[in-house]
Every structure is written in C-alpha cells, then in structure tokens.
Amino acid sequence: MPGAFPTFVAMATATRTPPSPGGQTTPRTSPRATPPPRPRRGGLLRTLWGSTLGKKAVMAVSGLVMLAYLVAHMLGNLKVFFGPADMNGYAHWLRTIGEPVLHHEWFLWGVRVVLLAAVVLHGVCAWQLSRRDLAARPVAYRHRRHRASYATRTMRWGGIILALFLVWHLLDLTTGTVNPRGQAEHPYENIVTGFGTWYTNVIYCVAMLAVGLHVQHGFWSAAQTLGVTRPGLARLCKGGATVLAVVLTAGFLSVPLGVMTGLVE
Amino acid sequence: MNLTLRIWRQPGAEAPGKMVTYKVEDISPDMSFLEMLDTLNETLTERGEEPVAFDHDCREGICGACGMVIDGRAHGPERTTTCQLHMRHFADGDTVDIEPWRAAAFPVVRDLVVDRSAFDRVVGAGGYITAPTGSAPEAHATAVPKPAADAAFAHAECIGCGACVAACPNGSAMLFTSAKVNHLNVLPQGAPERESRVLDMVEQMDVEGFGGCTLAGECATACPKGIPMPSIAAMNREYLRAAAKR
C-alpha cells in the first residue's frame, strides 16, 4: 500500500482536531485502534452458503417450496373420493398442463426438477447445520430436562423418516415398483390396492404424522428465519403453522382411512 | 435448611471433571445462591479442601459475571441471575445439581468457571458505533424516535451472561448476538455500520463454534434480562437485508 504511512499520520492527528463543518468525513480513530477491514467474500449466494443464518434461509425457502407442493398434492389426492374416472382423469391432466406450448409431461418434469433441488438443498443444509449444532454442545448436562416442544425435538429424526418415506412413496405410487398392482395411468386402482396392505398403511400413516409435526415447527421457523417480526404477522404465521399441519395431515390420512373403511374401493 | 449439592468439580481446563456430592447445613432462606456457595466454600476451606470456583462480581444482577446451570436450568428455577436467586426457592432436604455452562465455545476453566471471551470477540467484530470521542456531542444533534430508543434499550439490557448459550440445545449464541446487533441497528447512531455490523458479528459467531438456531426458544426462557425470541427474527431480517445489499 504505497503512501499508507502519511495517511495514517494524518488520521492520527485528526483525532485531536474537531471535524471541519461541511468538510469531508474525518477519520476519527488511530490506525492501531481500527481493526483491519474484514475480507469480503463473494456475493449474496456465497455469503448465505457460508453462514449458519444463510443456510437456515436456504432451508426456509426450500421448505416453503416443498410445503406449497404438499398443499397442492393433498388437495389433488382428495379427487380419490370422486371415483376412478375423476382421479385418473386428474392424473392425466397433470401431464398435459401447458400443452401445446409445453410438450407432454414437461410441466410435470419441471416441477420434479424444482422439488428435487429443494429436497437436496434442504437435506444438505440440515445435515451440515445439525453436525454443527451437535458439535457446539459436546457435553450434555447431567441433570436432563426436556423443555422444547415435541415437534421441535423431533425435527431431525422426523426429517430422516420423511426422506426414507419419500423413497418408498416414489417406488410405490410413482414407479409402481413396490405397489402390488403398479399399473401406469391407473393411480386410483394402485392407491386402492396399495392401501389394502397393512404395511403400506403403517408406513403411510407414520409418515403423515411426521409431516404434520415437521410442518408445525418448520413453517413457524421458516417465518422467523426469513425475518417475520411484525407481531400481527408473526402470530398469523404461528397459528398458520398449526392449521397447515393439521389440515395437511388430516387430508393426507383421509385417503388410506377412506380405503380402510371401504369409502373408497 | 439443609441441602445436598452435586457440583461439577474440574481442577483445570484439560483435567477430567466429575460431579461431587456435598452436604450444606443451616442455610437461611434469605441467602442468595452464591452466599450459600460461599458457606460451602468456607466449610471446604476449613477442612483444607479446594473451594468451588465460580464467577461472580456485582451480586446485584447487572454485571453478567455469575452463571451456572442449577438443576438443568441456566441460573436456576427463577428468571434472574444466579446472584439474585434466593434459597427460599428451594425446599429443605432438596438435592441440587450444579453444573457449568456447557458449550464448545465456552470451555470450562475450572469447576463452574467457563471462558466466555468468545462473546467479547463477537462484540469486537461489530458491536460498536463510529463516533468522535472527547467532548460529549450535542444531545439534540441526532433525533432518535421514541420507539427506536425503547427497542434499543430493551436489547441493551443484555448483560452477556451466556445463559442463552447454556440453555440452547445447540449451544447457539443467536439471542446474545441479536441483542447486540439490534441494540445498535435500530439507532441512527448505528446506521453507518448497519450492514457490516450484522454480517461481521454473525461471521464471528460462526467462527467461535456456536451452533445454529432451531427456534427451540430455550434461550429466551432462560434469559435473566428478558431478551425476547423476536429479537432473533429481527437479526435474521437484518442479516438477509445486509447480505442482499452488499
């Protein structure tokens, strides 16, 4: 830094003279007292990815993307109560959205790509942040005490359960690999056959309860991570989290319960 | 009152520690928790044993020096500092567990004393304003809106005791850092460094090895000064705003 020394001398002298009115901003501290300017790394994305707050924001946004999809998915599922023609017709329509601008199934594949990105980002951030969190509290208290809510405490295990369920769910009703019937273009029949087996019901019901718990804490957390501070809006988000969780769980559970009770056959 | 205490004893930073049981007799319900420990230490000294090391200074709840985890709760059963906790909140014959703050960023120095200089480095990274020193500035030169002054004061109540970190299941310093960031960021005097302050303090907080926030809310419950949870959301907002502006 050529010419740095005279500047520092001028700055040091300036501490003893009052700033001239209307003059330029006068450096007021001696160079020794001022810590060196911190190196600024990269842009927005690198800043976010490099910090715990930024990764939480990534988790919040990817979580909200998945949540929006879940709401649409749950509402679409309710078509099952209107019979095979409605359900299968709806499933077929999903593949034709955007035609003729988009090719057959392109919209669906677009959604799948976005969801895959959201799942991967959410999972990677959760993994990295959890490892950090566990390392930050290496010694547990001898006097144990559980204060946080059940939903808060089960976020990590709940997330793992949901990831495993996702694999099962895709193999069951998307590819039909583990579905007893697994016939493409016939989702209604696959659903009825699938929920005719006890293990599918157990897996599905456990996962849907996990979704409810995850959404209840997750939605409220996302709001705070993204900086919702206005008291009215914050209350709305907190209440909304519970409503969303209950509605989603009830809506999703209505399908296997409908099959089990014979309402859907 | 007679109490049975189980206290974490650790002779040094590298030495292994363990819980040791002590009986303390004839405790007055009017004693503070620290005075009760003083009584124990007098007995230990008379017996020729090492007294229990713990941090304390003002003993009136304003300095933030004292702090220990009592029965799994930072500063014990009452929402105050350990020095302002009185023995009337315990019953005769109770067994009380006393442990140091537990966090990777707060290594144990000895017994119940932990090294909290990580907090100093977080504050050093941005918990200041640029102002001319010397003669006091004209009081009306910078108008401060009343709500901003109130918000700044509420956050300035943080005494940096570390209870938030001790109570957090992730050993996170989010409540502390948010109190310091918001305290200055809401004021016009803090405006010049508004962005760099939050970015630098959060970066330092991460460097020190504190965990992240999972919104468990334990910190705000433990805070003897009542720094509220929305303080964290406010810092998140400041952080995202600053990251977008840089």
Q: How far is B125 from chain A (nearest CA, A)?
A: 9
The verdict on B40 and B120 lying in the same domain is: no
SS3 (DSSP) at B243:
helix
Tell which residue, B48, B67, B61, B147, has the closest CA to residue B113. Answer: B67
Q: Are residues B36 and B86 in the same domain?
A: yes
Q: Which residues of A touch B200 (CB under 8 A)?
A: 38
- Provide the domain limits for residue A253: 42-138+148-260
Same domain, B26 and B134: no
Rounded to the nearest angstrom, the minimum Cα separation between B106 and chain A is: 9
Determine the pLDDT at residue A42: 66
Both tokens of B34, joined, read: 């620290």
ipTM: 0.91
pTM of the model: 0.88
| A131 inside domain | yes
- Does residue A169 register a pLDDT over 60? yes
Contacts of A18 in chain B (CB under 8 A): 132
Give the count of alpha carbons within 13 A of A137, CB side only: 21
Residue A8 has pLDDT above 50, yes or no: no
* pLDDT for residue B172 is more than 90: yes
Tokens, residue B103: 């966090």
Specify if A29 maps to a domain.
Answer: no
User: Whole-number mean pLDDT of chain A?
Assistant: 86
Q: Which of B59, B93, B109 is the last residue of a domain?
A: B109
Residue A251 Cα distances to A162, A163, B23, angstroms: 17, 20, 58
| Per-residue pLDDT, A184 | 83
Q: Read off φ and ψ for residue B241, nearest 5 degrees.
A: -65, -45
Amino acid at A119: V
pLDDT recorded at residue A182? 84
Mutant choice from A29, A52, A59 vs B, greatest count of B C-beta within 10 A: A52
B52 vs A: CB within 8 A: no
Asked whether residue B89 falls in the same domain as residue B137, the answer is: no
pLDDT at residue A181, rounded to an integer: 87
Among B69, B88, B109, where does a domain finish? B109
Answer whether A193 touches B (CB < 8 Å): no
pLDDT value at B196 more than 70: yes
- Kindly write down the DSSP assignment for every residue of B164-201, as one continuous string: HHHH-TT-B-HHHHHHHHHHHHTSGGGGGGHHHHHHHH
Clarify whether residues B54 and B166 are in a common domain: no
**Which A residues in the span 232-261 are in contact with B, Cβ-Cβ below 8 Å?**
234
Chain B: residue nearest A58 by CA? B240
The CATH number given to whatever domain includes residue B91 is 3.10.20.30
Q: Angle at the Cα of B50 (from B44 to B53), degrees rounded to 5? A: 100
Contacts of B105 in chain A (CB under 8 A): 136
Q: How many CA atoms lie within 13 A of B126 on its CB side?
A: 27
Domain that holds residue B232: 116-245
Task: Choose the closest CB to A224 out of B199, B236, B246.
Answer: B236
Last residue of a domain, one of B109, B129, B163: B109
What total of structural domains would you count in chain B? 2
Residues B33 and B98 in one domain: yes
My answer on whether B44 and B60 are in the same domain is: yes
Lookup: tokens for A232: 């009215």
Q: How many CB pairs below 8 A link A and B?
A: 147
Q: Are residues B73 and B161 in the same domain?
A: no
**Among candidate residues A158, A157, A179, A161, the one with its CA nearest the CA of residue A170:** A179
* pLDDT tens per residue across span B53-106: 999 999 999 999 999 999 999 999 999 999 999 999 999 999 999 999 999 999
Query: How far, in Å, CA of B21 to CA of B31, rounded?
Result: 20
Task: Please list, in sequence order, all residues whose beta carbon lies within 8 angstroms of the beta carbon of residue A37, skipping any fewer than 6 positions away.
Answer: none
pLDDT tens digits for B125-163? 999 998 888 888 787 888 999 999 999 999 999 999 999
Q: What CATH code is carried by the domain that includes residue B208?
A: 1.10.1060.10
Mean pLDDT of B188-210: 95
Q: What is the pLDDT of residue A41?
A: 55
Q: Does B13 touch chain A (CB under 8 A)?
A: no
**Does residue A73 belong to any structural domain of this protein?**
yes
Please, is A225 exposed, middle or buried when counting C-beta atoms within 10 Å of its C-beta (0-12, 13-18, 19+)? buried
In this structure, are residues B96 and B7 in contact, taking their beta carbons and an 8 Å threshold? no
DSSP three-state, residue A42: coil
**Using 50, 70 and 90 to split pLDDT, how confident is the model at A37?**
low
Q: What tens digit of pLDDT does each residue of A52-109 get?
A: 999 999 999 999 999 999 999 999 999 999 999 999 999 999 999 998 999 999 999 9
Interface check for A146 against chain B (CB to CB < 8 A): the answer is no
Parallel/antiparallel/unpaired status of strands B3-9 and B18-24: antiparallel
The residue-averaged pLDDT of A102-122 equals 96
> Rounded mean pLDDT of B175-185?
98
* Residue B175 · residue B245 · CB < 8 Å: no
- B7 and B66 housed in the same domain: yes
In a domain, A88, yes or no: yes
The predicted structure's pLDDT at residue A195: 92
| Domain shared by B120 and B104, yes or no | no
Q: Which of B71, B210, B240 shows the shortest C-beta gap to A226?
A: B240
DSSP B88: G
Residue B14's CB: how many other CB atoms inside 10 A? 8
Q: Which CATH number belongs to the domain containing residue A66 in this structure?
A: 1.20.1300.10
**Contact list, B209 vs chain A (CB under 8 Å):** 135-136
Q: Is residue B161 helix, strand or coil?
A: coil
Among candidates A39, A139, A48, which has minimal Cα distance to B8?
A: A139
Query: Is residue B104 domain-shared with residue B126, that is, in the same domain?
Result: no
Residues B94 and B133 in one domain: no
Work out how many domains chain A is built from and give that number: 1
